[in-house]
Amino acid sequence: MIDLRSDTVTRPTEAMLESMREATFGDDSRDGDETVRKLEALAAARAGKEAGAFMPSGTMANLVAMLAHAGRGGEVLLEDGSHTLNAELGGIAGAAGLFHRGIPGRRGAMDVEALREAVRPLTRHHMGTALVWMENTHNRAGGAVLPLAHMAAVHGLAREKDVPVHLDGARLFNAAVALGCAVAEISAHSDSVCFCVSKGLSAPVGSILCGTAAFIERARACRRMVGGNMRQAGPLAAAGIVALETMTARLAEDHQSAKRLAEGFHRIDASLCDPKDVETNLVRADVRKSGRRAAQWSADLKAKGVLVAPADIHVLRFVTHRHISAPDVDAAVSAFAELWKNL
Ligand SMILES: Cc1ncc(COP(=O)(O)O)c(C=O)c1O
């Protein structure tokens, strides 16, 4: 099977498995664990922040960020298509007790003027803005990269209004590779940031939330409240350390594979996707013209040995990663072409 459903399917490397065997087994929830502390310090250094806290998932890192930044009842402003708004089961309201306002965007970047209109203080008529939120790379925008100038504008605006900024950087290292800059240059435009080692970086589990030391202290308490303390998390942290130390530069290969895939689809039919839109490791293919739904395409491709997830009624989302080679890409394109030919 050629598995293009997600980069979370990446398996740990041999070096990760070895480091997991040699990891410490301290109780992170009680006295702390040496390996977890090492991962958190490494992650914070990469992100250019004072401290970090290891989390079981990106979703929890985002939820904890909301809890640690905001009291109950404020508004979170985030782009309409953001993962947190669309795929984290309403944790904003249901678990963090916050409201949200979606801001229209282009390729994941909020319209800054619309954001300016939306940021407001607490008055007797309006709920105040508790948090401004960005996502880089942007999942629903097909792995689009937020330009640094856009991030600086959003951060500047939020600062002017004294509102904190969180960056959902589940695929932050993909953004850094695409921009050709250090991760810290991106996260400099936020007060807190989280990123996943469990996606294209191949570790089995985990995300790290980073920010000021005071923010991370609050985040640790919030993590415990939502059940995120992991006890003997050393082996998971060990894999995360190998991910950060050795697996980030190779993401460029995944971006090349995604480009090759998009070019293949474009050759089949230009309506499927525009390779120019592919900046990182995600490719969205619009199958509307075929008259079939994405779910049907997913089932038909599975029968041909290609796994892919529908992202919308008429959109398939392909994700490239370490286990996808150039011949795999070509085989996936051929399978797709055959189905398209026989429509
Ligand atoms: C942008 C973004 N944020 C958060 C998450 C959630 O991460 P997790 O699956 O580890 O909860 C994802 C997962 O795909 C994502 O793409």
Same domain? For 97 and 210 the reply is yes
Q: Is residue 49 part of a domain?
A: yes
pLDDT > 90? residue 236: yes
Q: Is residue 31 part of a domain?
A: yes
Same domain? For 95 and 75 the reply is yes
Name the pTM for this structure. 0.98
Q: Is residue 4 part of a domain?
A: no
- 10 cis-preceded (ω within 30 degrees of 0): no
Q: Is 256 in the pocket of ligand 1 (CB under 6 A)?
A: no
pLDDT above 70 covers what percent of the chain? Answer: 100
Predicted confidence at residue 204, as pLDDT, reads 98
d(CA 2, CA 330): 11
Same domain? For 234 and 267 the reply is no
Residue 322: give its domain's CATH number.
3.90.1150.10
If you measure from the C-alpha of residue 251 to the centroid of ligand 1, how many angstroms do you get, rounded to a whole number?
A: 17
Residue whose C-alpha is closest to residue 149's, from 139, 157, 138: 157
Residue 69: what are its φ and ψ, rounded to 5°? -85, -40
Predicted confidence at residue 72, as pLDDT, reads 86
The C-alpha R_g of the chain, in whole angstroms, comes to: 20
pLDDT tens digits, 12-63? 999 999 999 999 999 999 999 999 999 999 999 999 999 999 999 999 999 9
Q: Is residue 319 part of a domain?
A: yes
Q: Is residue 134 part of a domain?
A: yes
If you measure from the C-alpha of residue 58 to the centroid of ligand 1, how many angstroms do you get, rounded to a whole number?
A: 5
Q: Is 196 in the pocket of ligand 1 (CB under 6 A)?
A: yes
pLDDT tens digits, 254-295? 999 999 999 999 999 999 999 999 999 999 999 999 999 999
Same domain? For 83 and 221 the reply is yes
Per the CB < 8 A criterion, the answer to whether 65 and 97 are in contact is no
Q: Is 168 in the pocket of ligand 1 (CB under 6 A)?
A: yes
Helix axes 251-268, 172-179, angle to 10 degrees: 80
Count CB atoms within 10 A of the CB of residue 237: 30
Residue type, 100: H
Domain span including residue 236: 10-246
Final residue of a structural domain among 246, 271, 287:
246
If you measure from the C-alpha of residue 268 to the centroid of ligand 1, how many angstroms do you get, rounded to a whole number?
A: 31
Same domain? For 209 and 263 the reply is no
pLDDT > 90? residue 71: no
Same domain? For 329 and 277 the reply is yes
Q: Which atom belonging to ligand 1 lies closest to the Cα atom of 60? A: 11
Same domain? For 92 and 153 the reply is yes
Per the CB < 8 A criterion, the answer to whether 244 and 43 are in contact is yes
Interval 209-235 mean pLDDT: 98
Which pair of tokens denotes residue 326?
Answer: 């150039």
> Residue 312: is it exposed, middle or buried by C-beta count within 10 angstroms (0-12/13-18/19+)?
middle
Distances (CA, A) of 291 to 251, 270, 301, 303: 34, 15, 16, 19
**Residue 243: partners with Cβ closer than 8 Å, 6 or more residues away:** 16, 197, 201, 202, 203
Q: Is 170 in the pocket of ligand 1 (CB under 6 A)?
A: yes
pLDDT tens digits, 132-151? 999 999 999 999 999 999 99
Residue 145: give its domain's CATH number.
3.40.640.10
Which pair of tokens denotes residue 276?
Answer: 């120019």
Distances (CA, A) of 44 to 14, 197, 207: 25, 13, 12
Q: From 83, 173, 317, give the residue whose CB has the most ligand 1 atoms within 8 Å, as the site to mutate.
A: 83
d(CA 168, CA 58): 8
Which pair of tokens denotes residue 43?
Answer: 């992650």
- 123 cis-preceded (ω within 30 degrees of 0): no
If you measure from the C-alpha of residue 51 to the centroid of ligand 1, how many angstroms do you get, rounded to a whole number?
A: 21
pLDDT above 90 covers what percent of the chain? Answer: 99
Distances (CA, A) of 273 to 38, 143, 155, 282, 296: 42, 13, 32, 12, 18
Q: Which atom belonging to ligand 1 lies closest to the Cα atom of 59? A: 11
Atom 5 of ligand 1, nearest CA residue: 58
Q: Is 174 in the pocket of ligand 1 (CB under 6 A)?
A: no
Q: Is residue 5 part of a domain?
A: no
Same domain? For 218 and 153 the reply is yes
**Residue 333: partners with Cβ closer than 8 Å, 6 or more residues away:** 261, 264, 265, 267, 268
The count of domains in the chain is 2
Interval 82-88 mean pLDDT: 98
Same domain? For 73 and 190 the reply is yes
Same domain? For 25 and 170 the reply is yes
Q: What is the residue-averaged pLDDT of the chain?
A: 98
Final residue of a structural domain among 246, 261, 295:
246
Same domain? For 115 and 185 the reply is yes
Which pair of tokens denotes residue 97?
Answer: 């007790």
- Residue 277 sits at the vertex; the CA angle it makes with 272 and 280, to the nearest 5 degrees, is 115
Q: Confidence band (pLDDT; 50, 70, 90) for 247?
A: very high
Final residue of a structural domain among 197, 225, 246:
246
Which pair of tokens denotes residue 134?
Answer: 């960005």
Q: Is 136 in the pocket of ligand 1 (CB under 6 A)?
A: no
Same domain? For 231 and 276 the reply is no
Task: Give the distance from CA 167 to its chain's centroid.
Answer: 10
Which pair of tokens denotes residue 300?
Answer: 């038909």
For residue 89, the number of C-alpha atoms closer than 13 Å in the C-beta half-sphere is: 5
Which helix (H) or strand (E) element contains residue 211? strand 207-211
Q: Is 46 in the pocket of ligand 1 (CB under 6 A)?
A: no
Q: Is residue 54 part of a domain?
A: yes
pLDDT > 90? residue 109: yes
